[in-house]
Each structure stands twice: as C-alpha cells, then as structure tokens.
C-alpha cells in the first residue's frame, strides 16, 4: 500500500480538536466530582443505611454495572423525552457519565469502608464522636485513601469511555474527530492525533489525581 | 546473549533476499489479486435503507448489496462483506480491509481527493423531513431550529451550506441515532435521503412526518483505492453493461420503488 500521510490538514483543524478535547475534559472532570459524591452517598447507604436504602443502592449498582454504557446514554438522551424530560446532548452525557461512574465507584468506596477495622469505629463511638463525624473522619477519609488508586483508574476509564457520547451529538473530541475525518477523509491522520490527545489527557488526569492525593492525604500528615 | 544476537543477525541477513522477492518491480494489481483468490471484499453499510439493510434472516440486503452480489457473481469471485458504519466507508477502503466500497457514496470532489469513483450506480435526493407541527417552508425557516444530520453523508456536505446562519445543526454518528432524535423530539427536523425519510414516515404514522425542503440530488457509485485503475475499469465495464440491459434499473426499482434516472458517466 502506498498511502501518503498528510498531517498538515490536521494542524489546520487543530484548534477545533482542542475545543473537543476541552469538552471531554469538562465533562469528565464534572462527572468525576459528581460521581464521587454519588459513590460516597451510595457506599454510606449500603454499609450503614436501613434495609430499603441498602436494597435500593444495590439495585442501582447492579443495574448500571450490568448494562452497556452506550445503552444508558441512549436512554438518557432518546427515552427521557418520552416522559417529558428533555436534556441537551451534553447534559444527557453528563448525567449518564455521573450515574455510570457513581455505580462503579460506589463499589470501590464500599470496599474501602469495609477495610476499616470495626474496632476503630467502636473506639470513635466510645470517645463520643457524633455519627457524621465518625463517618467523615474515621470511616470515609481513611477509606478513600486506601482505595484512591482504584478510584483514579476508574476516573481515567470514565474519561476514555466518554468518547461514546459522540453518538448522541455531544461535540467532544471523538465527535469532532469523526466530523473532521469525514469531511477531509484523512481518517488515519485525525485518529492518530486524537489518540495522542486522549493519551495526553489521560496522563494529565493521572498527574492531577496524584497531586490531589498528595495534597489531601499526604501533606501535613507525615507524622 | 551474544550468540542470540549473532544468530538473529544471520537470520536477518538470510531473510533479506527473500523479503525483496516478496515485492516484485510490478506489484500485482488489486484486480489480479481478486481474480487469483476468487474472493472480493466489499465494504457495505447495512444501516442505511434502502441501499443497505439487514433482512429478517440478519443477512445483508438492499440495493447496493444486490448490486455487489451480482457484480461478484459476474466476476467469478466469492463475496466477503465488510460491514461498516457510514463514517467507516472510506476508512475501511483506505485501511485495506475492503477492495471496493459499495454503499451509496455520492460523488463529491472532496471525496475524490482520497479515493477513486467508479461510474454511478444510482441517484438519491437529500430532503429535510419533520413533523407536521414544525413549519419549514423556505431555508430561512431553518433559523433557530434544531436540524439533525448524520456524519460522513451527503447531508453533512450540503445542509450546512444551504442553512442560514442561526440554524442549529446537530451531528450524529449514525443514521439510526438521527432518526431516533427526530422521533424523540430531540431535533425539530432531520436531513436524510428521500428513501430513508419515507421509510421513517411510513413506519411512524402517528408522528405525521412529512417532506419539508429539498436539499440536493446526487449520484452515487462504488469507490476503490487510488491507483486501482484495473479494478475500476472492470467495475465500470460491468456498470455499463448492466445499465444497458436494465439490471441496475430493476434493482433500483425493487428496493426504492422509484424509476432510476438516466445515469451519467465520467
């Protein structure tokens, strides 16, 4: 095969690719924050909540973890309008990503909570700490520290799987790449560069997450 | 370790003449390869009625698929379908996954920069469709409306040019998603081929979907990789004969319900 690579077309459109990458970053970062909140709430509900709450959380987690992400996106974008809820493509993507991440991350957080020795919690109770304080300082903080690497991996995975939301017309990096390759027909070149951008974003997120770990869990706690 | 390296070097030297033999001065043409292997790989898009669909038995069907089958039969080659989404029709060819793509690829000068067109085997019209309640009578009415189009299609190449500023164009990766967006009300109207629009309208009578605006009429044909002149010439010969004897028109009529307009050649 004698294919001639022409990367100059890609550089012409590079600002558009960056706009797409920016939306990918925004969507992923927002979904990470919201998804973690959902995860912590669910993990708390599942470990300490009353039985109906535990049952509800378990159903949510199993429902999301055992259905394809693409189908979940379609439901939020194409099916919700039937019952009168019309989300824009970006919002539908964000909601789907948050709910998806929440389910996966809640199991990770729960594993961290389960790893807390019961004696530690009993000691806190004996010292007279309030329920919320126990959860905040004795349970969730060390739990998150323990499972942080697993959470970070899940976050990166979410960022990479966000490429699927182009199917519902959210204009993130994959969507823009698809549009550009289909109008310029330089698919190799555009997909190569998009791959590079995803790699850069994944490494960037990893570095940021490591920095957050250091700032929250390590700094000032060396003793 | 040293011995390993030496052995490797010897092996490499021994392999060199063999490697150069693999690429003779005159490379075998794609047509030669197809005839020799008695197998042709055809990229098709089965998500684009009536040109490419999956029938009740989950077998590829549709006007382009019928053309491909007949072409392969006359070539004396076994057909191997490479199913691609509309965005993958040109990449599959360029990546060498298919020898020819027959998937209603309308002729544009931009596409011809990357691939070579054979003569057209059909014609299609791009039309804007929408529910009865949405009022679109002139291109100016598109302002402020959400118009769904599918990537890597003729509508992507033409609708943004005709739509005035202020039109909210929404891109989908697949025509299935575009249709869903129309049916679920995520967009006000969509641009697609008149056949696809008719299929959607007939399948969903309660939505009262109707033709709003014609966008363009175009001819589409098989495409091959640049440089595959022998294959292109064979396909053009086949198209010429089957345009003359009415086979192309019969296939077109069977799947679209319309008479095939006279096909120009180039």
| List of chain A residues whose C-beta atoms are within 8 Å of the C-beta of residue B91 | 181, 187-188
Smallest CA-to-CA distance from B124 within B42, B205, B54, B63 is with: B63
**B41 and B113 both lie in a single domain:** yes
Neighbours of B78 (CB within 10 A): 13
Using CB atoms, which residue from A168, A182, A184 is nearest to B151? A182
| List of chain A residues whose C-beta atoms are within 8 Å of the C-beta of residue B94 | 3, 185, 187-188
What does the pLDDT read at residue A175?
Answer: 93
**B70 and B190 both lie in a single domain:** no
Query: If you average pLDDT over residues B90-111, what whole number do you get?
Result: 93
Burial of B183-201, coded b for 16+ CB within 10 Å and e otherwise, reads bbebbbbbbbbbbbbbbbb
Confidence grade of residue B26 (pLDDT, cut at 50, 70, 90): low
**B164 and B235 both lie in a single domain:** no
Q: What is the pTM of this model?
A: 0.74
* Residue-range definition of the domain harbouring residue B145: 124-218
Whether the CB of B204 is below 8 Å from some CB of chain A: the reply is no
Using CB atoms, which residue from B94, B152, B174 is nearest to A182? B152
Q: Is B248 part of a structural domain of the chain?
A: yes
CATH fold of A8-212, please? Answer: MetI-like fold (1.10.3720)
Confidence check: pLDDT of B50 > 80: yes
Whether the CB of B181 is below 8 Å from some CB of chain A: the reply is yes
**B115 and B156 both lie in a single domain:** no
User: A187, A188, A189, A191: which to substitute to probe chain B, counting the most B Cβ within 10 Å?
Assistant: A187
Q: Is B80 part of a structural domain of the chain?
A: yes
What pLDDT, in 10s, does the model give residues B218-233? 899 999 999 999 999 9
Confidence grade of residue B16 (pLDDT, cut at 50, 70, 90): low
Q: Which of A10-19, B49-58, B195-204 has the highest mean pLDDT?
A: A10-19
**B212 and B137 both lie in a single domain:** yes
What does the pLDDT read at residue B140?
Answer: 94
**B94 and B209 both lie in a single domain:** no
Q: Is B4 part of a structural domain of the chain?
A: no
What pLDDT, in 10s, does the model give residues A100-128? 999 999 999 999 999 999 999 999 999 99
Compute the distance between CA of residue A97 and CA of residue B106 in angstroms, rounded to an integer: 36
Q: Is B90–A175 a contact, with Cβ atoms under 8 angstroms apart?
A: no
Residue with tokens 């199917």: A167
Whether the CB of B111 is below 8 Å from some CB of chain A: the reply is yes
Q: Shortest Cα distance from A187 to chain B (angstroms)?
A: 6
**In chain A, what are the domain boundaries?**
8-212
Q: How many residues does chain B have?
A: 266
Compute the distance between CA of residue A20 and CA of residue A18 in angstroms, rounded to an integer: 5
Q: Is A2–B186 a contact, with Cβ atoms under 8 angstroms apart?
A: no
ω into B263 cis (within 30 of 0): no
Whether the CB of B157 is below 8 Å from some CB of chain A: the reply is yes
| List of chain B residues whose C-beta atoms are within 8 Å of the C-beta of residue A86 | 185-186
Q: Is B95 part of a structural domain of the chain?
A: yes
Whether the CB of B173 is below 8 Å from some CB of chain A: the reply is yes
Task: Report the chain B residue with the minimal C-alpha distance to residue A183.
Answer: B152
Q: Is B41 part of a structural domain of the chain?
A: yes
Whether the CB of B186 is below 8 Å from some CB of chain A: the reply is yes
Q: What are the tokens at A97? A: 């990503």
**B113 and B227 both lie in a single domain:** yes
Helix (H, G, I), strand (E, B) or coil at B257: coil
What does the pLDDT read at residue B87?
Answer: 87
Using CB atoms, which residue from B110, B156, B177 is nearest to A167? B177
What does the pLDDT read at residue A78?
Answer: 92
From residue A152, give the alpha-carbon distance in Å to each of A135, A205, B61.
22, 9, 46
| List of chain A residues whose C-beta atoms are within 8 Å of the C-beta of residue B170 | 89, 169
What pLDDT, in 10s, does the model give residues B129-138? 999 999 999 9
Partners of B100 in the beta sheet?
B42, B224
| List of chain A residues whose C-beta atoms are within 8 Å of the C-beta of residue B157 | 183
Q: Shortest Cα distance from B3 to chain A (angstroms)?
A: 36
Q: Is B74 part of a structural domain of the chain?
A: yes
Mean pLDDT by 10 residues, chain A (223 residues): 81 94 96 97 92 96 96 93 90 96 97 94 93 90 95 96 93 92 86 96 97 90 60
Task: Report the chain B residue with the minimal C-alpha distance to residue A186.
Answer: B114
Using CB atoms, which residue from B148, B171, B227 is nearest to A175? B171
Compute the distance between CA of residue B75 and CA of residue B54 in angstroms, rounded to an integer: 24
What does the pLDDT read at residue A216?
Answer: 92
How far is Cα of residue A125 from the mean position of the Cα atoms in its chain? 34
Q: Which of A91-100, B23-32, B256-265 has the highest mean pLDDT?
A: A91-100
Q: Which residue intervals of B76-224 are DSSP H helices? A: 89-94, 154-162, 175-183, 194-203
Report the number of distinct structural domains present in chain B: 2
Compute the distance between CA of residue B71 and CA of residue B65 in angstroms, rounded to an integer: 10
From residue B137, give the alpha-carbon distance in Å to each of A161, B214, B237.
41, 10, 43
What does the pLDDT read at residue B3?
Answer: 58
Partners of B146 in the beta sheet?
B168
Compute the distance between CA of residue B117 and CA of residue B108 in angstroms, rounded to an integer: 9
What does the pLDDT read at residue A182?
Answer: 83
Compute the distance between CA of residue B4 and CA of residue B215 in angstroms, rounded to an integer: 67
Q: Is A183–B157 a contact, with Cβ atoms under 8 angstroms apart?
A: yes
Using CB atoms, which residue from B113, B177, B185 is nearest to A168? B177
Using CB atoms, which residue from A178, A185, A188 is nearest to B151? A178
**B165 and B130 both lie in a single domain:** yes
**B163 and B208 both lie in a single domain:** yes
How far is Cα of residue B199 from the mean position of the Cα atoms in its chain? 18
Provide φ and ψ at B47, rounded to 5°: -105, 25
Counting DSSP H helices and E strands in chain A, the numbers are 10, 0
Whichever domain contains B64, its CATH number is 3.40.190.10
């Amino acid at each position: 095969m004698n294919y001639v690579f022409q990367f100059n077309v890609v550089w012409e459109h590079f600002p558009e690719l960056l706009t797409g990458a920016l939306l990918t970053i925004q969507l992923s970062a927002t979904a990470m924050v919201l998804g973690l909140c959902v995860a912590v709430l669910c993990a708390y509900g599942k470990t300490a909540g009353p039985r109906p709450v535990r049952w509800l959380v378990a159903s949510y987690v199993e429902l999301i973890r055992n259905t394809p992400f693409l189908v979940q996106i379609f439901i939020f974008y194409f099916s919700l309008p039937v019952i009168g809820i019309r989300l824009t493509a970006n919002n539908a993507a964000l909601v789907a990503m948050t709910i998806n991440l929440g389910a996966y991350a809640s199991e990770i957080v729960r594993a961290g909570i389960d790893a807390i020795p019961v004696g530690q919690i009993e000691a806190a109770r004996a010292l007279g700490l309030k329920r919320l304080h126990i959860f905040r300082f004795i349970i969730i903080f060390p739990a998150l520290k323990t499972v942080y690497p697993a959470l970070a991996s899940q976050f990166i995975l979410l960022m990479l799987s966000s490429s699927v939301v182009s199917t519902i017309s959210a204009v993130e990096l994959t969507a823009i790449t698809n549009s550009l390759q289909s109008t310029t027909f330089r698919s190799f070149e555009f997909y190569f560069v998009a791959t590079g951008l995803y790699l850069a974003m994944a490494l960037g997120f990893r570095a940021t997450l490591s920095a957050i770990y250091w700032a929250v869990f390590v700094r000032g706690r060396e003793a | 370790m040293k011995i390993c390296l030496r052995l490797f070097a010897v092996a490499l030297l021994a392999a060199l003449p063999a490697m150069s033999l693999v690429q003779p001065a005159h490379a075998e043409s794609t047509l030669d390869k197809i005839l020799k292997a008695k197998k042709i790989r055809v990229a098709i898009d089965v998500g684009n009625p009536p040109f490419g669909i999956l029938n009740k038995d989950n077998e590829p069907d549709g006007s382009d698929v019928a053309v491909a089958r007949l072409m392969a039969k006359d070539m004396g080659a076994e057909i191997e379908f490479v199913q691609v989404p509309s965005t993958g029709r040109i990449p599959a060819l360029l990546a060498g996954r298919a020898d020819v793509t027959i998937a209603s690829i309308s002729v544009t000068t931009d596409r011809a920069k990357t691939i070579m067109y054979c003569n057209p085997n059909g014609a299609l019209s791009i039309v804007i469709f929408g529910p009865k309640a949405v009022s679109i009578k002139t291109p100016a009415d598109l302002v402020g409306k959400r118009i769904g189009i599918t990537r890597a299609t003729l509508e992507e190449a033409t609708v943004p040019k005709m739509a005035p500023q202020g039109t909210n164009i929404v891109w989908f990766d697949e025509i299935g998603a575009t249709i869903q967006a129309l049916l679920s009300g995520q967009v006000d109207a969509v641009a697609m081929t008149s056949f696809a629009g008719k299929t959607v309208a007939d399948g969903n009578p309660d939505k009262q979907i109707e033709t709003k605006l014609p966008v363009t009429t175009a001819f589409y044909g098989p495409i091959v990789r640049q440089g595959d002149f022998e294959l292109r010439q064979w396909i053009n010969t086949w198209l010429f004969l089957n345009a003359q004897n009415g086979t192309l028109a019969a296939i077109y009529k069977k799947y679209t319900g319309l008479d095939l307009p006279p096909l120009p050649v180039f």
